[in-house]
Amino acid sequence: MVATVKNGSVGVVEAQSCTFAYPPDELVLENGEKLGPITMAYETYGKLNADKSNAILIVHALSGDAHVAGLSKADGSVGWWDEMVGPGKAFDTNKYFVISSNVIGGCKGSTGPSSTNPKTGKPYGIDFPVITIRDMVDAQRHLIDHLGIKRLLTVSGGSMGGMQVVQWMVSYPERIKSAIPIATALRHSPQQIAFNEVGRQAIMADPNWQGGNYYGGAPPANGLSVARMVGHITYMSDISMAEKFGRRFKNERQVFKFTPNFEVEGYLQYRGNNFVKRFDANSYLYITKAIDYFDVTEGINIGEIFKGVDARVLVIAFKSDWLYPAYQSQEIVRACKLAGIEVTYCEIDSTYGHDAFLLEITEETHLIRYFLEKVHHGELTEDYEI
């Protein structure tokens, strides 16, 4: 069933794309390999003002895409952060020009493993080069150049999106006026890497994966579904799962049966089965590996990470988030303070776990709306209160 346009929505939106890095000017990746040409899918909302000072880039998490808000013209789906982007919302499209793109390595319009390799005429598969968060941001910078924008008012995102925000601060500090990293980290911890590795192994153990060359045949649906189930457990909290499911049975209790009797079992299977309909297994492998490689502290004193950054920063974390616990956001704050950056830290008392960055709309709207208003008009001071 196709959703209908709600009040405050940006309405029906259509994905756009731009292509760059044509040979011999391919994008040089962090590992030294080259990739090109590169197509990036993106959407925009609102209007760019005359001096192009109201542009905001929203970057997505692992399973996200460019469709942040409104109704997709292609399939009628609602954007993944629709309640945050639109007229009068946190990212107010009456005031700001909002941009969102699908990362390279993705499978929703941007160049990734399922894209055609121009050298072979077949999908890249695992011949696609290893990518990093820095490579994703480098590609986004090309998109911003394509749109003729010199400096972004802010760049914002949660989870992997927050990592891209941090990377923007490191790679292109002169191109951003502010940054809003949400529920994220300066580097992936061993536990975070471990969860991703379980998901990758589930995919690669599926016979249909075929070494990554499954295009044109049956995809590794079972493996990808299990990977998503594992991931989804980490997105919730013990409290949120207890409140949502408890130990309730779907139907009459059946002892010693291995069907999904518990509601939580049925929910995880439902999420896993739906995920395989919209996501590519190889993209999952590449993107989770990029997240695991992420470490802006590698070989650098924490006080030097953001040296020279002239941007205001709002860091948001959530108390029940055990996937990206608050101490990791506090490390970002510490690095900012050591670099002399104006930074505000807000820890929201939520029971939703990591998913809170998608669900705590009221709190985030209050924080972000105020922050952007002050940044846009240059009135923010280091000690302002929200």
What's the pLDDT at 6? Answer: 64
Catalytic residue among 9, 110, 159, 283: 159
Give the pLDDT band of residue 248 (cuts 50, 70, 90). confident
Provide the residue type at 278 as one letter: R
- How is residue 25 written in tokens? 């000017």
Domain spans, the chain = 12-187+297-376, 192-292
Catalytic residue among 60, 142, 188, 354: 354
pLDDT at 45 over 50: yes
Mean predicted confidence (pLDDT) in 168-185: 98
Mean predicted confidence (pLDDT) in 205-215: 98
What's the pLDDT at 311? Answer: 97
* Class of the CATH domain delimited by 192-292: mainly alpha
What does 161-214 look like in DSSP terms, one character per residue? HHHHHHHHHHH-GGGBSEEEEES--SB--HHHHHHHHHHHHHHHHSGGGGGG--
Cα–Cα distance, 242 to 245 (Å, whole number): 5
pLDDT at 380 over 50: no
CA distances (Å), origin 294, targets 30, 160, 253, 280, 356:
11, 9, 45, 21, 22
pLDDT at 255 over 80: no
Mean predicted confidence (pLDDT) in 369-384: 74
Poorest-pLDDT segment among 162-171, 248-257, 376-385: 376-385
CATH architecture of 12-187+297-376: 3-Layer(aba) Sandwich (3.40)
Number of residues in the chain: 386
| Cis peptide upstream of residue 24 (ω within 30 degrees of 0) | yes
What's the pLDDT at 253? Answer: 67
pLDDT at 1 over 60: no
Q: Do the domains spanning 12-187+297-376 and 192-292 agree at the CATH topology level?
A: no
- Tell me the helix, strand and coil percentages in the chain, rounded to 5: 35, 20, 45
Of 65, 71, 66, nearest to 12 by C-alpha is 71
Mean predicted confidence (pLDDT) in 317-327: 98
Provide the residue type at 144 as one letter: I
Cα–Cα distance, 113 to 83 (Å, whole number): 31
**Where is pLDDT greater, at 250 or 330?**
330
Give the pLDDT band of residue 55 (cuts 50, 70, 90). very high
Task: Say what the pTM is.
Answer: 0.94
Classify 52 as helix, strand or coil. coil
Neighbouring residues of 9: CB distance < 8 A, sequence distance ≥ 6: 69, 70, 71, 82, 86
Give the pLDDT band of residue 385 (cuts 50, 70, 90). very low
Q: How many CB atoms lie within 10 A of CB 197?
A: 13
What's the pLDDT at 232? Answer: 94
pLDDT at 2 over 90: no
Mean predicted confidence (pLDDT) in 286-301: 96
What's the pLDDT at 8? Answer: 79
Our answer to whether residue 25 is catalytic in this structure is no
Mean predicted confidence (pLDDT) in 35-51: 98
- How is residue 216 written in tokens? 């044109």
Edge-to-edge strand order for the sheet containing 97-101?
16-20, 38-45, 97-101, 55-58, 154-158, 178-182, 312-318, 343-348
What's the pLDDT at 254? Answer: 67
Backbone angles phi, psi at 56, to 5 degrees: -125, 135
Catalytic residue among 65, 280, 321, 355: 321
Our answer to whether residue 159 is catalytic in this structure is yes
Mean predicted confidence (pLDDT) in 154-165: 98
pLDDT tens sequence across 117-144: 999 999 999 999 999 999 999 999 999 9
Our answer to whether residue 75 is catalytic in this structure is no
Give the pLDDT band of residue 377 (cuts 50, 70, 90). confident
pLDDT at 386 over 50: no
pLDDT at 355 over 60: yes
What's the pLDDT at 4? Answer: 58
What's the pLDDT at 5? Answer: 58
Give the pLDDT band of residue 383 (cuts 50, 70, 90). very low
What's the pLDDT at 378? Answer: 73
pLDDT at 34 over 60: yes
pLDDT at 379 over 70: no
Classify 283 as helix, strand or coil. helix
Of 217, 218, 169, 159, nearest to 192 by C-alpha is 159
Q: Mean pLDDT in the chain?
A: 94
- How is residue 76 written in tokens? 């009628």
What's the pLDDT at 381? Answer: 43
